Amino acid sequence: MKKNILIFVGGFICGIIALLIFQFALENRDEDALDGLELLEQKGECITTDNAKVIQVISLNAALAVQLNKKIKLDKDLGFLSGVIDMADMAMSAMEGKLMLVLGDENQAFYDNEEIKLPKDKCFRKAGIYQYETKDNDWKTIPAVKID
């Protein structure tokens, strides 16, 4: 009889310890961490673009964006065609631009189709890589950047 009580109490204590360890692990999990994001230990180089367009928001302060190439300035002589050519140029820029994950700070939130224009003294600095799975079950790896 004493042996059964000791087994019961031992199992009960082991269950409590396991529950505490599980709770501790959940509390220390980084809520803001993105699956597939690996940050570099040192600052990377700047990406040579001064603006990008958000195509999808991943979390409050992280978004997939495409680098926009500088638009070709058109003469005003083209009249109504200049708007058509501008739109075609923007579409080509978006198709030619590289995809990147833009990481903002805790005070920065992104929204879909937002155009991110950098000031002259800032750049998109590589901060790591981001890997994700596409709808076609392909894995893609793109640079993760911070505005610096």
Q: Domain check: are 18 and 89 in the same one?
A: no
Amino acid at 136: D
Are residue 80 and residue 138 in the same domain, yes or no?
yes
Whether 40 and 83 map to the same domain: the answer is: yes
Q: Kindly state whether residues 2 and 57 are assigned to the same domain.
A: no
Q: Are 1 and 57 found together in one domain? A: no
Identity at 53, one-letter amino acid code: K
Going residue by residue through the chain, which has 148 residues, state the pLDDT in tens, using 9 for 90 and above: 788 888 888 889 988 998 888 887 766 555 456 888 998 888 889 888 888 999 999 888 899 999 886 554 444 444 444 444 445 445 544 455 789 999 988 888 898 899 998 888 888 999 999 998 888 989 989 999 998 8
Say whether both 57 and 87 belong to one domain.
yes
Tokens read off for 116: 């991110």
Name the residue with tokens 């700047």: 46
Together in a domain, 8 and 74: no
Which tokens hold the place of 138? 């392909």
Q: Count of residues for the chain?
A: 148
Q: Are residues 48 and 22 in the same domain?
A: no
Q: Are residues 14 and 87 located together in one domain of the fold?
A: no
> How many domains are there within the chain?
2
Q: Which two tokens stand for residue 17?
A: 């310890």
Look up the domain containing 2 and give its range. Answer: 1-30
pTM of the entire predicted model: 0.62
Residues 13 and 40 in one domain: no
At 28 the pLDDT is 58
Q: According to the model, what pLDDT value does residue 91 have?
A: 52
